[in-house]
């Protein structure tokens, strides 16, 4: 049992700092290593513009024993969708996009196969009926976003009733990323747009498409032991003739048991906007800390308060019938459900990622937070014990 009164310097595996009053957060984070078997992780909290908690611990690479450092980068998987949401909101604020306009207004080829009436709001709310790619893909195809955008433009919407509200694990990124490229005056890719319009002004160590000089800082992902067994059991229950499931989850398999493609430098360098973002927890917390303050931090404004409010306005809610999970979305951001994935506040929003990472904002408390880790646990939205205690302690610390 970790000592609840020990300073950070005496807590095994944990380094960094925390402001006075955030000691319960430190203890909850330390307990994840001492009692819950975490491998390597970082936790950061920005409270009313100040970096109040900046912690890290464990190892960045289990095979070599390389320790997690203050600047270790982490693949955040679907946490990337929150980055894309910010880019979409910027273009909406500038009048380059509108939620109720057809996607084909900016991307004419998208009107093919009866999709002329699909609106921008459908892409960001996961109601576009395009959760997967029908054309058979090889793993290498994931690294060429414009080619997949072309395939999606030519593809009809799914008529399977489950597709009416279905999480778009990777197609969200390809669809919105191409729309950003078409709507941006300079025709920038989603990675370049984010780097120039968001990361640079805010001083963020976040990338959609990692420059090679940062590769050595990326942690090495690992499955928990349970992952391989549970994923095989889950796949065994799926009808082999289920074309929708196959297009979403097995085209190609995103997390094959025998390998971890997401550890490869070519995956890190590619602009996989649905799940390939790489960041430090410190920078993710700063971004959401900015959003929690209405789009401004340290005198730098990236969005107007009304645009941030639009971003967290509910556009869709229900049960994703492919996964069985309750989901709710604003403009690309996930909103709270009964699961309270983003901690106790009802107005919380953000986006989580495969395996356990969570990044979000609490507007009423003016808090942005990020918890990123390199051990992927099976279905953490249901029973991963690492995040909930930390967010409960954080809520207590900020007067929740």
Which residues are catalytically annotated? 78
User: Which of 33, 40, 31 lies closest to 374 in space, CA to CA?
Assistant: 40
Residue pair 301/295 in contact (Cβ under 8 Å)? The answer is yes
Report the DSSP beta bridge partners of residue 18. Answer: 53
Look at strands 375-376 and 222-223 and give their pairing.
parallel
Phi, psi of 26 (to 5 degrees): -60, -45
**How far does the chain reach from its first CA to its final CA, in angstroms?**
26
């Amino acid at each position: 049992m970790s000592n609840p009164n020990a300073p950070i310097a005496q807590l095994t595996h944990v380094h960094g700092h925390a402001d006075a009053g955030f000691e319960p957060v430190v203890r909850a984070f330390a307990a994840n290593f001492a009692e819950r078997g975490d491998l390597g992780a970082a936790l950061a909290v920005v409270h009313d513009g100040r970096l109040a908690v900046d912690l890290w611990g464990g190892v960045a690479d289990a095979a070599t024993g390389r320790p997690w450092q203050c600047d270790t980068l982490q693949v955040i998987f679907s946490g990337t969708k929150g980055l894309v949401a910010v880019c979409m909101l910027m273009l909406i604020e500038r009048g380059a996009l509108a939620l109720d306009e057809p996607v084909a207004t900016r991307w004419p080829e998208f009107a093919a196969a009866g999709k002329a009436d699909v609106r921008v709001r459908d892409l960001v709310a996961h109601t576009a009926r395009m959760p997967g790619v029908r054309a058979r893909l090889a793993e290498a195809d994931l690294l060429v976003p414009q080619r997949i955008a072309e395939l999606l433009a030519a593809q009809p919407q799914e008529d399977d009733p489950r597709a009416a509200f279905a999480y778009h694990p990777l197609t969200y990124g390809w669809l919105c990323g191409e729309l950003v490229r078409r709507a941006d005056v300079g025709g920038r890719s989603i990675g370049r747009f984010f780097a120039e319009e968001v990361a640079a002004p805010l001083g963020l160590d976040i990338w959609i498409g990692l420059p090679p000089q940062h590769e050595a800082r990326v942690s090495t992902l690992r499955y928990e032991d349970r992952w391989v067994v549970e994923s095989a059991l889950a796949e065994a229950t799926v009808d082999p003739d289920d074309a929708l499931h196959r297009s979403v989850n097995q085209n190609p398999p995103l997390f094959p048991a025998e390998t971890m493609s997401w550890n490869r430098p070519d995956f890190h360098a590619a602009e996989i906007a649905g799940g390939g973002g790489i960041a430090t927890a410190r920078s993710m917390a700063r971004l959401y800390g900015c959003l929690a303050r209405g789009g401004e931090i340290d005198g730098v404004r990236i969005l107007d308060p009304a645009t941030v409010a639009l971003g967290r306005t509910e556009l869709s809610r229900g049960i994703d019938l492919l996964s069985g999970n309750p989901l709710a979305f604003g403009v690309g951001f996930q909103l709270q459900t009964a699961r309270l994935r983003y901690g106790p506040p009802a107005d919380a929003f953000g986006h989580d990622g495969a395996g356990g990472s969570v990044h979000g904002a609490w507007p009423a408390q003016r808090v942005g937070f990020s918890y990123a880790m390199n051990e992927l646990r099976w279905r953490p939205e249901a029973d991963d014990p690492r995040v909930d205690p930390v967010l409960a302690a954080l809520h207590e610390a900020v007067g929740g």
